[in-house]
Homo-oligomer: A and B are copies of this chain.
Amino acid sequence: MPKVAVKESTKALLIETGIDIMAEKGYNNTGIAEVLARAGVPKGSFYYYFESKEDFGLQIINTFDEKYVAEWNQVLYDSSLPPLERIAAYIDEIIRRSEARQCGRGCLLANLSQEMADQNELFRQRLREIHLKRRDTYAGVLAEAQQLGQISARIDVVEMAEFFLCAWEGAIMRSKVQKDSKPLHIVRQMFFERLLA
C-alpha cells in the first residue's frame, strides 16, 4: 500500500522536524507553518496528519521517548558491561552529542516540562510518566550495581536515581546557558566520586 507508506513517512518527517524546532524554540514559539516549510510539506496538509497542534506536540513527545530516549537507554541495558560502566557510557554519549552541537537545544523533555507543566495537563502527565520511567531505568542499573557490591547497600537506589536525574537535567540547562559542557563533566565526576562512593 504505497499511499499509506508515503503518508507515514510524511508524518514521520513532520514529527522529526517538529522535534528539531521545538527543542530549540519551545512549543508555543513553534509555528506549524514553519514546520511545514522546513519539512517541505505543502501547507494545508498538517490537519491530515494531526488533529491539532496539541496532538502534534504529544506525538512529538511520544516519538522522542520511543525513539531517542529508548536508543540512549540501550547502553543502560547492555549486559556485556558492568552496571556502573553502563551509566558512565550513557553519560559520555550524551556529553559527546551535546558538545557536537555546541551545547545547544538542551533536553527536549526538560524544556517542554518547564514550559508546559503549568499550561497543559495532558503534556504534564505524559512528561511526568517519561521522567519517572527514566528515573526507574537509572534505579534498576544502580540496583544491579548494589547487588554486585559496587555501591553501598545503604543507598536508596530510587532516591539516588531521582537525584541523578535532577542533577543531570540541571547540568544540561546550565551547559545550554553557559555554552560550555563543564557542568556535565562536573556532574559526571561528582556522581561517581562522591555520591556512589
Contact = CB atoms under 8 A, between A and B. Distances in A.
Interface in A3-28: 24-26, 28
A168 B169 CA distance: 10
A46 to B, nearest CB: 20
Contacts of A194: 194-195
Contacts of A173: 110, 113-114, 166, 169-170, 173
Interface in A168-197: 168-171, 173-174, 176-179, 182-183, 186-187, 189-190, 194-195
Interface in A94-138: 104-106, 110-111, 113-115, 117-119, 124, 127-128, 131
Interface residues of A, number: 45
12 contacts: A24-B119, A26-B26, A28-B29, A29-B29, A29-B115, A104-B118, A111-B115, A117-B176, A124-B177, A127-B177, A128-B177, A162-B182
Interface of A: 24-26, 28-29, 104-106, 110-111, 113-115, 117-119, 124, 127-128, 131, 159-160, 162-163, 165-171, 173-174, 176-179, 182-183, 186-187, 189-190, 194-195
